[in-house]
């Protein structure tokens, strides 16, 4: 089993530690060139008029300071991704508390790094999949060839996808079985997708699957583990649907 997580808008900025070492990150052989190109494009934003840089970075005017932060990423302190990424999903998942073996079954999607493992050391940064940088264009299209070459895609493997659409557009397995996790409420017998609780639901599902004594190898096994943990789930083609009250 492989679990694909989204990054988080909320991040904890490391205050000490060596800067990121691109050659030490996961899939360095396939992704370093793309990572270096993006770091250069972010550094170049600082030379542009601030209003234009903010627009390209897809942040609000109140977040204009992130332009200067992103310009210095190559020298900023770095820490494990499991610590840097925070937010609702990561609060429920409690990734740093999981065993090293469990963490080894996790990949975190990133608009800047492509994909990292929980132990990869990264700095605080601001770059969402919605950003469009000079010389880069749309980030999903930018990353797709490199991720296709780098990420594991083995027939018979279950890939449980917690990513949002913007990140799943960058890579989907062609041989492994993909199982996306969704959250719904049941109102008067009708299912409605939920957004405010979806991240919490995905974090909870990821945690129970990673803590299972035997990692699930099929959608049915994943559903059984989730149900044993007290979740109300339903399998539909390609999806594990969680029904929340």
Q: pLDDT of 173-192, one tens digit each?
A: 999 999 999 999 987 778 88
In the predicted model, what is the mean pLDDT of residues 75-89?
A: 97
CB distance 217 to 102 below 8 Å: no
CB distance 173 to 153 below 8 Å: yes
State how beta strands 137-138 and 79-80 pair.
Answer: unpaired
What confidence score (pLDDT) does residue 186 get?
83
What confidence score (pLDDT) does residue 165 get?
86
What confidence score (pLDDT) does residue 10 get?
85
What confidence score (pLDDT) does residue 129 get?
94
What confidence score (pLDDT) does residue 214 get?
95
Residue 22 has pLDDT above 90, yes or no: yes
Q: pLDDT of 92-134, one tens digit each?
A: 999 999 999 999 999 999 999 999 999 999 999 999 999 999 9
In the predicted model, what is the mean pLDDT of residues 166-170?
A: 94
Helix, strand, or coil here: 84?
helix
Residue 9 has pLDDT above 90, yes or no: no
What confidence score (pLDDT) does residue 57 get?
95
What confidence score (pLDDT) does residue 209 get?
98
Helix, strand, or coil here: 237?
coil
Residue 65 has pLDDT above 90, yes or no: yes
- Give the residue carrying structure tokens 């909870």: 204
In the predicted model, what is the mean pLDDT of residues 27-51?
A: 97
**How far is C-alpha 155 from the geometric centre of its chain's CA atoms?**
22
Burial category of 119 from C-beta neighbours within 10 Å (exposed 0-12, middle 13-18, buried 19 and up): middle
């Amino acid at each position: 089993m492989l679990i694909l997580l989204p990054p988080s808008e909320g991040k904890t900025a490391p205050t000490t530690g060596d800067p990121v070492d691109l050659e030490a990150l996961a899939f360095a052989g396939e992704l370093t060139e793309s990572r270096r190109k993006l770091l250069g494009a972010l550094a170049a934003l600082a030379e542009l008029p601030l209003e234009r840089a903010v627009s390209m970075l897809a942040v609000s005017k109140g977040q204009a300071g992130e332009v200067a932060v992103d310009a210095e990423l190559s020298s900023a302190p770095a820490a494990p991704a499991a610590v840097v990424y925070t937010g609702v999903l990561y609060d429920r998942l409690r990734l740093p508390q999981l065993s090293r073996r469990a963490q080894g079954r996790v990949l975190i999607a990133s608009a800047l790094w492509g994909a990292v493992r929980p132990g990869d050391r990264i700095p605080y940064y601001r770059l969402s999949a919605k950003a469009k940088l000079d010389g880069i264009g749309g980030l999903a299209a930018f990353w797709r060839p490199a991720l296709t070459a780098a990420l594991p895609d083995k027939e018979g493997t279950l890939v449980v996808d917690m990513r949002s659409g913007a990140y799943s557009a960058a890579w989907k397995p062609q041989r492994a079985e993909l199982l996306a996790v969704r959250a719904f409420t049941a109102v008067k017998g009708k299912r409605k997708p939920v957004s405010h609780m979806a991240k919490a639901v995905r974090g909870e599902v990821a945690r129970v699957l990673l803590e299972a004594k035997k990692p699930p190898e099929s959608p049915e096994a994943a559903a059984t583990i989730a149900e044993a943990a007290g979740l109300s789930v339903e399998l539909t083609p390609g999806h594990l649907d969680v029904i929340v009250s």
